[in-house]
Amino acid sequence: MRYFSIIFVLCLTLSMVQAQQTSFVNPFIGTSDDHGQTDPSATIPFGMIKPGPETIPRGNGGYDYQSQQLKGFSQTRMSGVGCIGVGGNLLITPFVGTACKTLKMDKASETAIPGYYSVTLDNQLKVEITTGRTAAIYRFTYPATETAGIKINFKHSYGKHIAEEHSIIGDNAVKGFVRSACTCDLGSYKFYYYIEKDKSTYKPEDNDSELLWKFQTEPNEQIILKIGLSSVSAEEAEANLKKECSNQSFEQIRTNARIAWENLLGQIQVETSDEDLKTSFYTRLYHACQTPFTINDYSGSYKGSDGKVYSQQLPYYHGWSIWDTYRTKYPLLSIVCPTEYKHMISSLAELYKQGKPRSATKTEPFLTTRTEHSIITILDALQKGMFDGSLDELLPLMLKEAEDISNDSPDKALERGYDFWGVSELAGKMGNKELKKEFSLRSKEYRPIWLQKFKDIGPTSDIMHGDGLYEGTIWQYRWFVPHDFDWVIATLGSKKKVLSELDYFFENNLFNMGNQPDIHVPFLYYYLGAPWKMQKLVHQILLEPTTNYYGTHEKWEKPYIGKIFNTTPQGYLKEMDDDAGTMSSWFVLSSIGLFPVCPGIPYYWINAPVFDTVTLHPTSQQEFKIHVNRPDAECIYIQKAILNGKVLNRSWLSYDEIMQGGDLTLELGKLPNKHWGHNTDFIKSLFKK
């Protein structure tokens, strides 16, 4: 008994410590009026099913915080991925009276915490949702009525609905599949479901692609409805549901979901007296860990993007948005959850074997978006020792992809150069000197275009979509050659000249934090031997009001002047999609003082954290702690760095140094120390390692 008591106390203490992290998550941040396009759905980390509310009007993820009108609750979504979103399947609407009536939410009753969502409707009906990985459970609390019911719409989706089939099983269950278009109607996905409820009912009404269950209820009678998903079959969906929900109560499943989030969020502990800052930090870490989805059935089976059925017991991940996430999210996950990250990289490698295209196929097993820069993502993992697959098998598939990369606009030329550099580095890892040399040369093919379009800045350099650019200006795309920035410096003449132009870029508010193409640019000051300029700039972006002129597609006539990252439903700049956690990951990395030098190179720039201490738990055995000695709030500049008791004059840490654990102490001051981190001779050596 004494041993059991000790274990109980230890577990309770650990739970209390971890709960401090989840209590600072506010899923409503970024859910209002195109200010992030996040959602408050109930979910677990990297869970397949994400049940949540569908409002009128809706946001990218089905929900707009400002709306009080409710259509119902759908089961799938990806957070902030552009166009009109992806998902929104299997719309479930509980009702009292008529099934056609639009529901109104009591906003004061609305609750969202990690793994749980709840709202009371104007008809006195309370809805609660919690979830496992592949299955969700609803608890509806009805008033006394003879006209209660639940409606299921099988056609509902954000993109184009393509097909559905359903079969009614007795009076209380239904199974089938749905098929819908992926993001921007590129490609399509198909998945299967099994739905059951515990209330006896009249014979269900089947009306085309809608199902009605009608029943009577006593005062405060609770109806439980469960949903299981599978990429393989309705039978596997049923098995998944039974595995996750059959022997556990609603409260047990809710507790499990919260513990899953506590365990993940507890991998980074930050200390500060500013609770609003902690809320911003942990909510954005929460947003970063929504995707990709783990789509294996509990039997191990899953479908690939080629439509074939595979099986493995290790987690298989799907649901990519790599054009965005390779920049910040995967470098973050490699530290926060290395085990899961390693499985993600393995899944991405498997995608190549399934004939990976740049966008979605017509046979996707679940929601997904795009996979450009997978080459860089896998290279980054390999450099970190987090990819165990065979390059002999993978590299030929990457070569095929590289040959198909478009070069029909200036921005694509720059991005293709980066991918070609990635191929060169991978070839070098294999010892293929000829291929390494070939693609090293090809990685520089962008240079004539850069000289023509980006070298000389003129009146047209501040036009959104100018010269056919995807989402940005010449000014913003100009800096996107992370693998070859020394050439840019030499071409412009000197570091002093580049510093002057970079200063002009920021001082004249030409930077766009609202979209991805230039979010790395503040850190280019490190390449130029002026890290103190970055330290001030990033501190402002994280915490202070700034002047912002750009949305995703246009420059505004009047700027927005205010904080970029807020803890309200308008949690991001207007039109600033979180893009599957890309922007959230930028915030997390920048705020703890570790930012990737260049994905594909396993190093992180050192910045001054906005917290008093940061403790990373990269493994169960290791702890990496950053101590910040900040005499007062105006001290934002690094004066001195000490790593494991030794003075550190360089401005970067390797991935291995972080993962092996240790202590980094940063002394901060009010004035820049222009000697710390100013030596940039090491940069060339990083790209030669």
Rounded Cα–Cα distance for residues 268 and 613 (Å):
10
Please, which contacts does 204-207 make with residues 24 or more away whose CB atoms are closer than 8 Å? 204/168, 204/171, 204/174, 206/168
Distance of alpha carbon 347 from alpha carbon 327, whole angstroms = 19
| 169-221: pLDDT as tens digits | 999 999 999 999 999 899 999 999 999 999 888 889 999 899 999 999 999 99
| Stretch 267-274: mean pLDDT | 96
Is residue 368 classed as helix, strand or coil in its secondary structure?
A: coil
Per-residue pLDDT tens over the stretch 592-648:
999 999 999 999 999 999 999 999 998 878 899 999 999 999 999 999 999 999 999
| 656/10 Cα distance (integer angstroms) | 30
In this model, does residue 8 exceed pLDDT 60? no
* Cis ω for the linkage preceding 522 (within 30 of 0): no
pTM of structure: 0.96
Cα 506 from Cα 521, distance rounded (Å): 10
* Structure tokens that stand for 179 in this block: 């098929």
What CA–CA distances, in Å, run from 545 to 503, 539, 548, 560?
Answer: 18, 11, 9, 9
Strands 268-271 and 293-294: unpaired
pLDDT category at 497 given cuts 50, 70, 90 is: very high
Q: What is the pLDDT of residue 14?
A: 42
Enumerate the H helices of 304-384 as residue ranges. 322-325, 329-336, 338-353, 374-383
Examine the pLDDT at 11 and tell me if it is beyond 70: no
Arithmetic mean of pLDDT, 18-41: 91
User: So what's the pLDDT on residue 686?
Assistant: 65
For residue range 516-558, what is the model confidence (pLDDT) as tens digits? 999 999 999 999 999 999 999 999 999 999 999 998 889 999 9
- Angle ∠(531,537,538) on CA atoms, nearest 5: 90
∠ CA 139-144-146 to the nearest 5 degrees? 100
